[in-house]
Structure 1
């Protein structure tokens, strides 16, 4: 799969941008703050219908504008003609995602069609931050692989939102509706129990792939793994909700369920990577997660995802950069997009590669071929 062209209007710091892209390697060169990462984020938006960095869609609209448009032309190996994907948002309106000019009935139908993997300096946040960050990462990955998982996740999130609203209503109105609460409990249990099973099944395939990539990246030979931590393995979800009912009413929120699960990152016989891993080990762990993500998506989709490499030359040591470039040289990856501040460094790093390389200069929200 390749992204053949990219067109932007009022996306982040760009008034307008039009790029014809290489099917192999694309390098965005510019100073920090010039807009290099915003180009990667636009590609991520076209694939995932959301920004990888902005908290809200509205933050993707250029300051002073009232809308943005991101449009890309995707070529798939099993399709005779390219697909045109457009994402747009106007202030005060819902975002619109179109496939060959036809809007999706549900935006979720787009997820997984054009897979993407982003390796960025923020990847170690998966290790350092809380469980919500890790759930979001794995939910996004599994959703690209399995549309039924995404549907269950949407159902669960909707029922959870309704249940929390009802609990808040109980407190505000000093009422209690047992029948409605039971209906919402049943909806949560039906979707949530399946989510847990699918997460467990996914990790059985994912962990060996991840461990192999870590060994290829790491300086040392420490063992690594990850564990899925959920209350629902040993206890029935419906019973848990019943036992926690008084606490939920008092706190006005649902305190048990898959939305409280965690993915625990471990090394060397059960030590937490967050507490005991060096910076280098944490970086290797995070990159290994992303490389395993790339491999498992490639195997599932039968075509390679887009790979976005943000600031790897500034933030990674020579060993890890060399490993990533070896994978590029071995045609492990398909189309690659990378950012850097120094053209000479990028040219030197890519000098041994036979692939077609396109270079772009990025300056203050403008981009042009070199």
Structure 2
């Protein structure tokens, strides 16, 4: 059963040629007496007419096949082309056109009866008697047309069902999109209510501390907290905009890596940056991934080795970018910052989605190395 659809697909392109060959063979058999009344015409003429009849079945103008079928019925008493013409009329013609075809077959049938009467013999017995003429008309014209109408009705019903299924699928996708949009909006509201409120309070308190304190170090720290909080609010607004409007995040460029280094230095981290190769244009997903790798590496260094030297290195390759963040061993772990421990897991998934790879682990000297190779091909 599984091989049947494949066989149908292989044969389907050749169906017109097969039908033409079948009609030509049936016309020959009918005119030579094998499947009908033997014609007195020469064999060469019968063969030529049979080939012409088969050729008329191939895709051509709509009137060609009915005209050839009428000639074959009157000259050869051949029935194959009449059957195919009536079947095609049922499948392809509608309304007045179908009625005109059926009415046009009456004169042909009457002319066939007249030809049979003139020729006499077996031709007269088969075609000229009223009973046989009615039977031939029913089997050669009406029955194939009814079959064609049934096929057309079934085809139209299947097309309507297909359209309905596609419409329902589109409506289901639209409902799913609306549900996703509502859920994204709800998440955006939750994030705004929970995170933005607390970050805003942090920025306000840091600004108040910056104004009221007299200690220069405290003023500097409060200013750093205030500027960092404002940057966090800006990033949060971008994320909320993505959730609400489903627009893409702005793609960070190479200059944003400098911003990360500058922010870490302002926070007291000893960071150096080196570049190897010549920077070139890369897809947005690659630049965003490089940005996130550097961001995660510097965040981990601030958490676990705040007094250690950190080196950020970008190697611009012909087929991608290799980014590494290495920190030296730390003498003091400093205050423990809260974290879920899933940063590297999510970062590895992000890098692998671009077709790259990420490694992270301690170095022989006691430090830590985060390295990612991000290909510059089109990312997912």
Larger RCO (CA within 8 A; separation ≥ 6): 1
Give the TM-score taking structure 2 as reference length: 0.20
Give the TM-score taking structure 1 as reference length: 0.21
- Bigger share in helix: 2
- Bigger share in strand: 1
